[in-house]
Amino acid sequence: MPILVMKFGGTSVANLDRIARVAKRVGVEVANGYDVIVIVSAMSGKTNELVGWVNETSKLYDAREYDAVVSSGENVTAGLMALRLQEMGIPARSWQGWQVPLLTSSAHGSARINEIPTDNINAKFGEGMRVAVVAGFQGISPEGRITTLGRGGSDTTAVAFAAAFGAERCDIYTDVDGVYTTDPRIESKARKLDKISFEEMLELASLGAKVLQTRSVELAMRYNVKLRVLSSFEDEMNDQAGTLVCAEDEIVENNVVAGVAYSRDEAKMTLVSVADRPGIAALIFGALSEAGVLVDMIVQNISEEGRTDMTFSCPTDQVARAEKAMEQAKSDGVLNFAEIIADTDVAKVSVVGIGMRSHTGVAAKMFQCLSQEGINIQVITTSEIKISVLIDRKYMELAVQALHDAFELDKAA
């Protein structure tokens, strides 16, 4: 029988009533002739509670025991889901990561998937099991310890299973009914997309869209796994429901710009009057990398003879870490700069679309739109299918709305 992977997030399985509702949806796919692999998250709020317990018990905790504790939320959901399906007369059983086994690296808390052998689950399908309910977010290390994949790891688990088992599709059920041209909470005219390319979804996910976890999209693109984003709260389901994330060649025609993304948790940092010589950028960003600072946008300006200003952006919660790394490099004599200025009152706004490859004028249109709204651009970065700008945070929502209108994203191609 063909295999379908269905993933349900924490809000979809938040209580027993919602688990029962999800089980009915799984039952429909079983009736449609699929063997189903269901990937479940912990009930909404449970992982945060478990993390809190670990931190309260041990500030300098053993990462291996952390994984043992926080992975338990998914185990509970998997067991309850299997029980509900059995009550419906559907042959089902739960699987923890080590039982599959989902083989990972030893990086506890942020493990990478190495392999998913299919023999155990396929053998049970051969014996009449119709649904394998797998605890997401977890695996087993080469040392035989439980590992977790990091936040959002259940999405990655689902895509990895779809790739390993050659599933027809991977359906990601969440609390939204698809991928929108922008956040509907900011722009009421935001439109749900029927299809979006892997590359566009990857850019949107990395730029702050919370619908899919970035690693899961990367994995889907690498193995050409069709993803469908759906709402678990919609009663009527059909083949057109949700948004299909697929290869670019499966999209007949799309708008030049697919969506507008934003991130309000950005900071702009400037090293003032750094020596303008070969290797200085490598020293700066090498030190930031060693400190674990995620640098995004970078701009270098000549400030005076033989000196330069270096500006970069990073998440606001990493400002202190960046400042410490730079001050340490200065005290070690590696760097010499006049001062470091941090501006935490900025936001990043981006337009994304594969149509940029074959259409000119997107950047000009974006910059003109922002200019007409009186919004000053502080930093610009571009890629083949993305243009991002850093602006004052107070203008973020206005910028998103204006760009959505300028590119007529409320209208289909």
182 marked as binding residue: no
Q: Which amino acid is at 312?
A: F
In three-state secondary structure terms, 211 is: coil
Closest CA to 110 of 161, 66, 77: 66
What is the number of other CB atoms lying within 10 angstroms of the CB of residue 232? 21
Cis peptide leading into residue 101 (ω within 30°):
yes
Q: Which amino acid is at 22?
A: V
173 marked as binding residue: no
10 marked as binding residue: yes
327 marked as binding residue: no
How far from chain centre, in Å, is Cα 396? 21
Q: Which amino acid is at 165?
A: F
195 marked as binding residue: no
- The token duo for 109 is 């808390």
What is the number of other CB atoms lying within 10 angstroms of the CB of residue 368? 12
In DSSP notation, 264-316 reads: EEEEEEEEEEEE-STTHHHHHHHHHHHTT-----EEEEEEETTEEEEEEEEEG
47 marked as binding residue: yes
Rounded-to-5 percentages of helix, strand, coil across the chain: 35, 25, 35
Return d(Cα 227, Cα 38) in angstroms, integer: 14
Give me the residues paired with residue 135 across strands: 40
185 marked as binding residue: yes
Is the Cβ–Cβ distance between 84 and 100 less than 8 Å? no
Return d(Cα 104, Cα 149) in angstroms, integer: 9
136 marked as binding residue: no
168 marked as binding residue: no
- The angle formed by the CA atoms of residues 207, 208 and 213, to the nearest 5 degrees, is 100
- The token duo for 2 is 């063909």
Return d(Cα 349, Cα 259) in angstroms, integer: 11
- The angle formed by the CA atoms of residues 225, 230 and 231, to the nearest 5 degrees, is 155
175 marked as binding residue: yes
74 marked as binding residue: yes
- Residue carrying the six token digits 């701009």: 299
- The token duo for 323 is 């400042």
9 marked as binding residue: yes
Binding residues for ATP: 7-10, 174-175, 180, 185, 210-211
Binding residues for substrate: 47, 74
Binding residues: 7-10, 47, 74, 174-175, 180, 185, 210-211
